[in-house]
Amino acid sequence: MVNDSVLMLCAGEIALLFLNKYIHVSLHTLIYTYIVAVISYLIAANVSGVYRQITRFVGFNEIVLIMLSEALSFLTVVMVTTILGMHNSYRLIMLTFLLSLLLIPASRFCWRLFIEFNEQRKHLKYKISTKSKKALVLGAGRGGNSLL
């Protein structure tokens, strides 16, 4: 949860760095936009079940849920800022949305690759150092494999 929130804020700051010369958004509006985006994303992600899945097992379905949660979050930002009559840049909102669509799933896949790489390395060390008997655990998946 914290990782996703920080990445959304980083996406907003990167978008602001790119568009800083072309747009003028007050600090108050920017902070309010970030708060609405993060809170609405966390609510949408919790409702859709993004945080029920262990990051190690993230697949295509979870990435789709993350992207839908982000889309709902940024639609909420557009609606809230429009209803409140705040002067906000839609270019900034769109670029922040696109960058967060890139950063959040990329962080999940990088973590998954890191975990799997470490598991393979441990498995090779264990396989070389000791002789082990093979066991078949039915229906336990990776959890049963890590138990043995």
Q: How many CB atoms lie within 10 A of CB 28?
A: 9
R_g of the chain computed on alpha carbons: 20
Whole-number percent of the chain with pLDDT over 90: 3
Look at residue 11 and tell me whether its pLDDT is greater than 80.
yes
Of 25 and 143, the one with more pLDDT? 25
Q: Please state, for a pLDDT cut of 70, what percent of the chain lies above it.
A: 78
Q: Is the pTM of this model over 0.75?
A: no
Tell me what pLDDT residue 99 has: 92
Coil vs helix vs strand at 148: coil
Helices (H) and strands (E) in the chain, counts: 5, 0
Q: How many CB atoms lie within 10 A of CB 11?
A: 22
Q: What is the structure's pLDDT at 132?
A: 63
Across the chain, what does the average pLDDT equal? 80
